[in-house]
Structure 1
Amino acid sequence: MANFNLIIVDDDPNFLFIHDVLAKKSDFHQTPLKFEDGYDAIRFLEENMDKNHLLFLDIYMKTIDGWGVLDFIENKNIPEKIKVILISSSVNVADKNKAMEYSSVIDYIEKPLPFEYLNMLKEQVIF
């Protein structure tokens, strides 16, 4: 059993589904939580600050985008409890550079999430 919650945050239901299936099929995480916007993800994080969380986070979403979620995490000053992998369709170098300025961000990859990436990630100690 994983010692963290996997939280997938993306406003595209297709990517929510794909990343959920990949996490399960790769045996990376069997019970990912899924949110279609940053607002719901933030509400969940606020209520569960005592647990470890790994977020697969999209950047450009409605309501509260990925940058807003990252700002929330940074303002709470809990990067040891929340780690983020940005999974975005943006290939903009400025987005990648901005993302890596956040202490909670451990990687930035382009959509879709590669299956091999999850196998590699399983070998790393995240928390």
Structure 2
Amino acid sequence: MEDNFESLKVMVIDDSKTIRRTAETLLKKVGCTVVTATDGFDALAKIADTQPNIIFVDIMMPRLDGYQTCALIKNNSAFKATPVIMLSSKDGLFDKAKGRIVGSDQYLTKPFSKEELLGAIRAHVPSANNA
């Protein structure tokens, strides 16, 4: 079973340059097109233009946090089917529950591994799995 990440557009929203760069490097290596955003406002401005297949969003961000960003994405009929994966440095039950309430599809604890990142894409983006 061969992964097919070639045509996938992935958005990574995080106020940490290190996290954005790490995720971007990992994802580009497997062939994804990566769009990064520094916060929720930045992401919402880019989302319509880029139409990402999956979105990774950090919870702790200034201005618009990950929960608010996820809720806004999921409340938009054009993007409500887009998988949103929450990223957090806290591995708390409360955070996971809150993430589910706003409609997130999965929760990854930072620092994430390449396998966790790619596993989340495989789990939520059907076209990533080429039988």
TM, length-normalised to structure 1: 0.81
Identity of aligned pairs, percent?
Answer: 25
Is 2:100 aligned against 1:111? no
| Alpha-carbon contact 2:54-2:121 (below 8 Å) kept | no
- Compute the RMSD of aligned alpha carbons: 2.1
Separation in 2, partners of 1:75, 1:121: 22
Is 2:13 aligned against 1:9? yes
TM, length-normalised to structure 2: 0.78
Question: C-alpha offsets along residues 35-89 of structure 1, whole Å, 9 cap, x if unaligned?
Answer: 11111101112x338x343111100101211112112123213422x21111111
Write 1 or 2 for the structure with the bigger share of helix: 2
Aligned with residue 23 of structure 2, among 9, 19, 43: 19
Question: C-alpha offsets along residues 4-42 of structure 1, whole Å, 9 cap, x if unaligned?
Answer: 4200000011111111111123x151x200111111101
In the alignment, which residue of structure 1 is the partner of 2:73?
73
- CA, structure 1 residues 99+28, in 2 after alignment: closer, same or farther (shift >3 Å)? farther
- CA, structure 1 residues 91+35, in 2 after alignment: closer, same or farther (shift >3 Å)? same
Aligned with residue 33 of structure 1, among 35, 38, 58: 35
Separation in 2, partners of 1:33, 1:122: 15
- List runs of 5+ in structure 1 lacking aligned partners: none
- List runs of 5+ in structure 2 lacking aligned partners: 1-5, 127-131
